[in-house]
Structure 1
């Protein structure tokens, strides 16, 4: 299984916000610290805000804060929500498969494995992703790196 970029970026944002809690941060700070293009982060933060995983405030004293909901939701449920797909592994109907009419069990096996993955990940929370050496992570960043696309 491979997570999409949106899920990857969203998890990075949530991990970062959880570390800097209760301090709010800006899109520019997230872009710089996480090395992700600001345009990608706009979409990510809007989605996280709509799902009440972050709180956003505009204006001079505004910023982005992690919500209590994000901290109390299992990582598996966060991943499933961020993937935005009820059949993330295989969809036999999107590109019709010749094996469907012959009772192929591949989708069923993959769905069971995906649910086991989600269940396993739900044993963990953002609080389990706390770094002891948070400052060191960002002190080694060079100003010459460009955000990834």
Structure 2
């Protein structure tokens, strides 16, 4: 399974926020610089994370983004479920036009695989994936400097 860039950037933005040492809000431009990605994409992801309640956004001078919860309270599986379309096939939706759906067992096999994927993600919180904060900070600083 491949996650969309939106989910990827959502997780990256949360990681960035969790490893920061600065008490000031982070800006979209800071995040984009440190990851080497488009500020436009980061802004779209930030809007999503604000709407979902993971971040707050402050406008104006001294404004920026802040986590609304501790990293130990942000479940990775929950973030993926909220940012990703997990409908693997047309038959996972309400309007399937597949003629073999009533007798097809592929849907249940893929559903089981998807559930296993989500179950693994549900075992982790943001704090788990940033235990190596120092290393991550160094890597992000190196990217920003290049």
Q: TM-score category by the smaller chain?
A: 0.7 to 0.9
SS at structure 2 position matched to 1:112:
helix
CA distance in 2, matches of 1:69, 1:105: 41
Give the TM-score, by structure 1 length: 0.83
TM-score by length of 2: 0.84
Going from structure 1 to structure 2, the CA distance change for 1:135 and 1:121 (only over 3 Å counts) comes to closer
Matched, 1:138 2:137: no
Kindly report the root-mean-square deviation, in angstroms, between the aligned alpha carbons of the 2 structures.
2.1
Structure 2 unaligned regions, length at least 5? none
Pairing 1:58-137 to 2, within 5 Å after superposition: 58-68=59-69, 71-83=72-84, 85=85, 87-92=86-91, 96-101=97-102, 103-130=103-130, 131=132, 132-137=134-139
Deviation (angstroms), 1:141: 2.3
Q: CA deviation at 1:70?
A: 6.1
- TM-fit CA distance, 1:68: 0.7
Extract unaligned runs of 5+ from structure 1.
145-149
CA contact 2:20–2:137 (8 Å) conserved in 1: no
Structure number with the higher helix fraction is 2
* Corresponding pairs, count: 141
